[in-house]
Structure formats: C-alpha cells, structure tokens
Structure 1
Amino acid sequence: MNNKGIILDAKSLGSDINLSSFQEIMPFQIFGATRGDQVATRIESCSVVFTNKVVINEALIQKNPQLRYIGILATGTNNVDLIAAKKQGITVTHITRYGTDSVAQHTWGLILSLVTQQYRYQQAVKQGRWSVSPFFCLLDFPIIELASKKLVIVGYGELGKRVAKIGESFGMEVLLAQVPGSPQQDSKSRLPLAEAFAQADIVSLHCPLTEQTKHLINDETLSWLYPHAYLINTARGDLIDEVALLQALMSNRLAGAGLDVLSVEPPAADHPLIVAELPNLLITPHCAWGSQQARQRLVDQAKKHLLNFLANKPSGVVC
C-alpha cells in the first residue's frame, strides 16, 4: 500500500488541536478545508483519507482504486458512501464516545438557561431594569425548579444515559421513550412516544437520525406535549420539523426550546428560527461537542484506529 494520508477539513476540529502526530505514522497533507470541487485532486494519490464533513461519494471512491482507508472524524457516517466503500474493499472507521461529557453539560446548560431564564435576566440587567427596580431583586420571568419534574429521554445510549443521570441528581423523574426503528423500542422500560410526551416537563433528544426518526418532532408529536414543556435537541437537526416547532413556540403551545443543531448547517442568515428572535428559544451553533478535551479525544481515537488498521487489528470499523 502506498502509505500517504490526507486530512481534508482539519479546521472543523478547531485551531487548538495538534494534528502533527499523524506525520509520525506516514506522510500526511493537512488541509484546513476542502471544497467539493477540490476533493478529487487532493485524494488522488492517497491511500488514507480523513474527513469530518467533506463528502466522499461513490464516484470519488470508484475513481480512486488506491484508497484503502477512510477515517470519519465524527460519529455520523452519512458523508461517506459506505456501500461503495465496502464494495471496493475500503475500511471505514468512525469515532464514538468522545464527546459524552461535553454534550451532556451543554444539554444541561440549555435546560438550566431556559428554566431559570438566566439569559433574559442578564438582558434585563444590561438594559438597566435592575438598577431602577424599587426592590432588591427582579422577578419578571418565571423560574422553574426541576425537582419532581419529569424528564423524557428519547434515545437512551451513552449520551442519553449521562443526561438522565444528571437529571436524577436534580431530583427529576426520568422516563424513557420508544424510538421508531430502534431495537429497544419494544422494551418494557420504554414508553410509547405519545404516552411519554403526555407526561413530559422536558424532552431531550439523543437518538440517531434515520428514515424512521426524521421529523420525529412534528406538528402531531408536539401536540402531545403540554404547553409548559421544554424541548432540547443536541442530536441532529432533522429530528425536528422546524416549521412545526416555530409555530408551536409562536403560539405558546410549547414553553421553550434549546437547539444546538439545525436541519442545514451552517444555516442561512434568514433561517426562520433564527430571525424569529423568540424569547423562549435558545440556539447554539452545533458546539455541544466542542470542548477541547472532547476534540482531543476524537483525534487520539482517530490516530489509534489508523494504527490498529495498519497493524491488521482494525477498530472503530463501520464497514
């Protein structure tokens, strides 16, 4: 095998991660970003390719018979044609369990900001409203205690379990909802989605995006929630029908939502959820996974998978 590697979109991992150790394995070209029309030229002499979000489709795979290894620098694998890769004998790996702590704390950051209205109180302070208050405090926005409230987890993998454990530490009751298409959906511990949503104070999404879960949150499923409920999504944007969510928020059929993901990323500047400027909607830019420690674990795992592949002891393999 011609051992030459390439990283196509290193800047997507942040500027504070050192990738030079890959050069200890084989000669590597490291590009900060790669446009779709640049991929073919850049990978044509490489046997090893790493990509975070750059698409490696069937045509690119077929035109590059020298490819032996594609390392996806993420958990999701939809940017690589796995069927074409398998047909051509290419090993594809991905990264798992690197961002659990980072995503869990971000999830709770969104929840706590919403239920305590911290962001609105901060705005009130900056606007001078506290300074002119006749009392020592402001209590303009309702503050909700989490103790005894019900937290519905949709997707009870590693992330869902971590978020649930934190919820229990706040004294919340955790309910597990069935996920369409999941092998666990018929488990006795999982409630039907409608039954779980009807009891929910907070719903937190941690399930994968599949054909069965696309727009899992839609006008019908939102109608199962009480108006006091909050929706949190740190998983995938297309789990939510964004038009239905916007309508629910604007009509006060939902108390609020915290989103770290949208259906198209980066979103257009005029994305309806962004321009709506709703006081009960928090949106962060897909940064829940982005602690320095999590990103370093990602890179360390990617390097380990490549070394294992070269030693004929593959790990992290998806095909």
Structure 2
Amino acid sequence: MHRIVFLDRDSLIANVRAPGFPHTWQDHAATSEDEVVERLTGATVAITNKVPLRAAALARLPDLKLVAIAATGTDNVDLGACREQGILVSNIRNYSLVSVPEHCFALLLALRRNLRAYGADVEAGAWEKSSRFCLLDHPIGDLSGSRLGIVGYGALGRKVAHIARAFGMEVCATSRSTLDDPDVTQLELDELLRTSDVISLHLPLTEQTRHLIGARELGLMKRSALLINTARGGLVDEAALAEALLQGRIGGAGFDVLSKEPPVPDNPLLRLRLRLPNFILTPHVAWASAGAMQTLADMLVENIEAWAAGQPRNLV
C-alpha cells in the first residue's frame, strides 16, 4: 500500500479527490525544510507545491518513489538527486492557461492606464476638488497599436499572444525553437527588448535563465516600456530593476513573483511598491483562480494514478 504525504496542502484551495488505488494519505498545512525528512519517512509519494526537496533530505528517504509537484515550476526539487535515487518527478502543465494570461493583462492594463495613481488621487479627495468633470494628471496609453514582446513562447506565451492580438497589439517573441505562428515575429532577445513597448516573461527558472533580465537588458528597453513578470522572480535582477524604475529608465513594471517567497523585508521591489505608482506587485496569485486550482488538483491526482498504474506521465 502506498503512503502519500502532501507537504503543503494549504497552498491548494481545491477539492483533492482520493486516488483510485489502495493508499494512505496525510496532509500537512505547511512544512518547513527541516521537517521534510520526518514527515516523509516511509512515504512512497511526496506531494509538494513549494516545499524544497534537496539532495540531503532525499538521501534519507529510501522509500520515496515519486515526487508529485503540485505546480509547473520544478526549481524547488533537486532533480539530479532524484534521478540518482531512481525517484520519478512529475509536474502539472497547462492548468492555468486562462488564469495567468488574464492576470498578465490585468497588470498591463493597470499600468498602461495608470490605475494606481488615479485610485490614489480619488482616495486623497483630488477628484472632489477638481475644477472639471475629470482628472487628467497622469498619462493614459492604449494597448492597440503597441508591440508586445513575449520572452518564452510556450503554451502560456501563445495564449498571451492570442489575447494581445485581440487588443490590436503587434506581437513578437523569442524562442529556442523556430516559431510556427505566422502572426508572431521571432526576434533575438536584444532586438525584442529594444523594440517592444511591453515585455512579458514566460520562462521557467533555470541556471541558464536566472537574471536573464539584468541591468544591461533593462538598459536596452525603451524608457516608456513596461516589464511584466508572472513567471519566476529569479528571471530578473531585482536590484537592477528597482534602480531602473527609480531612475525612470523604463516606464513601469508589473510583477506577481519575487526571487524569494515569502519575500524578505529588505527585498528592493517589496520596498518599492509603496513609492512608485508605475510598479505593481501581487503576491504570486496569477495562477490561483478557482478554476485553475481545481484543474491543478485534478491533474495532480491523475499524475499519481498514472504512476501507480505503471504509466507515469508529465515526468521532468
């Protein structure tokens, strides 16, 4: 009989049905890194959303056969150590093809139309004191006619491109493989950064993509350009971005992710959120619509059932 342990059950607000094979199941609301070994001792299946599973802990878990990641990102699991121990790792793919792109455009529209600044004006009573029917103190831009540069053209990138075209945006993208979309112009990263009005990141975090956007890359962008990140915080050098925003070297940024989550108090972007109306920070919720979370929960159990049936899927 398999023993299944969900290390951070409270990270998933959804109905998680029982797998259709003999098992025991134990939920933990949350798990710290130093509790991992104790809680997974004797487990054959570990479920984690963001709890780290490092080599030292994995080496002490000889019964573990499957790590079922309740997310797409795999940077919290030592994949090399899993391979060495014969532990399979599965993840969830394409569950948030509505939620993440919609959040991406929520950030983009709020920035382009200066919603934070106008909301603050209304709260401060500026509209009530206005000599005319409206306030026009902050610039407002349209999406139509502007260029969106998508960095990483997987399933999420393609969905973002589809929505962008509906807004009348021109779309370009970078990708390791040749694009098969005639409506999207494929560019190298530097050219995309130089020519786009909006840059949206849709990449996994790896050693190759860490700090993909740093001071040099920010310096290539238009002074009016917006940077949207609903992917992974480590893709961007946060100190460099904070400096670029403070110096007015780019037009603004909308982030749903930080390099360390929960953030440490001295994170430069966390401090910045109260100082600049052209920076919006949300707490890693782009993925978390009710529909997306239920889809994730269903796919999570399907991954475990496929593995138990000897037909593992979504392996990484």
TM over 0.5: yes
Matched, 1:244 2:243: no
The equivalent residue for 1:290 is 288
Equivalent position amino acid for 1:48 in 2: V
Structure 2 contact 199–227 (Cα < 8 Å) conserved: yes
Whole-Å separation in 2 of the counterparts to 1:85 and 1:155: 27
The equivalent position to 2:189 in structure 1, one of 186, 193, 196, is 193
Matched, 1:148 2:145: yes
The count of aligned residue pairs is 311
Alpha-carbon offset, residue 269 of structure 1:
2.4
- Tell me the alpha carbon deviations over residues 225-252 of structure 1, each in whole angstroms, 9 at most, x when there is no partner: 1111111111111111111111111111
The equivalent residue for 1:304 is 302
The equivalent residue for 1:13 is 12
The equivalent residue for 2:253 is 257
What SS is found at the alignment partner of 1:21?
A: coil
The equivalent residue for 1:75 is 72
Whole-Å separation in 1 of the counterparts to 2:111 and 2:58: 45
What SS is found at the alignment partner of 2:228?
A: strand
What SS is found at the alignment partner of 2:148?
A: strand
Structure 1 contact 22–28 (Cα < 8 Å) conserved: no
Matched, 1:99 2:96: yes
Alpha carbons of 1:212 and 1:64: their partners in 2 closer, same or farther (altered >3 Å)? closer
Alpha carbons of 1:81 and 1:175: their partners in 2 closer, same or farther (altered >3 Å)? same
The equivalent position to 2:203 in structure 1, one of 197, 202, 207, is 207
Equivalent position amino acid for 2:297 in 1: V
Kindly, what percent of the aligned residue pairs are identical? Answer: 42
The correspondence of residues 34-113 of structure 1 with structure 2, limited to 5 A, is 34-113=31-110
Structure 1 contact 117–142 (Cα < 8 Å) conserved: yes
Equivalent position amino acid for 2:12 in 1: L
- Tell me the alpha carbon deviations over residues 115-149 of structure 1, each in whole angstroms, 9 at most, x when there is no partner: 01122212211211111111111111100011111
Matched, 1:26 2:23: yes
Whole-Å separation in 2 of the counterparts to 1:290 and 1:24: 28
Alpha-carbon offset, residue 3 of structure 1:
1.2
Structure 1 contact 305–315 (Cα < 8 Å) conserved: yes
What SS is found at the alignment partner of 1:204?
A: strand
Whole-Å separation in 2 of the counterparts to 1:210 and 1:56: 16
- Tell me the alpha carbon deviations over residues 72-113 of structure 1, each in whole angstroms, 9 at most, x when there is no partner: 111111222222222222221111101121000000000000
- Tell me the alpha carbon deviations over residues 169-214 of structure 1, each in whole angstroms, 9 at most, x when there is no partner: 1111101135xxx3459x9952122212221111111122222221
Normalising by structure 1, what TM-score? 0.92
The equivalent residue for 1:235 is 231
Alpha-carbon offset, residue 20 of structure 1:
5.1
Show structure 1 runs of 4+ deviating over 6 A. none
Equivalent position amino acid for 2:288 in 1: G
Structure 2 contact 55–81 (Cα < 8 Å) conserved: yes
Larger RCO: 1 or 2 (CA < 8 Å, sep 6+) = 2
The equivalent residue for 1:271 is 267
Equivalent position amino acid for 2:192 in 1: A
What SS is found at the alignment partner of 2:98?
A: helix
Whole-Å separation in 2 of the counterparts to 1:38 and 1:122: 44
Equivalent position amino acid for 2:258 in 1: L
Matched, 1:177 2:170: no
The equivalent residue for 1:126 is 123
Whole-Å separation in 1 of the counterparts to 2:257 and 2:85: 33
Whole-Å separation in 2 of the counterparts to 1:105 and 1:136: 31
Q: Which range is displaced more, 86-95 or 197-206?
A: 86-95
Alpha-carbon offset, residue 256 of structure 1:
0.5
Normalising by structure 2, what TM-score? 0.93
Matched, 1:313 2:316: no
Q: Which runs of 5+ in 1 are unaligned?
A: none
What SS is found at the alignment partner of 1:232?
A: strand
Structure 2 contact 171–185 (Cα < 8 Å) conserved: no
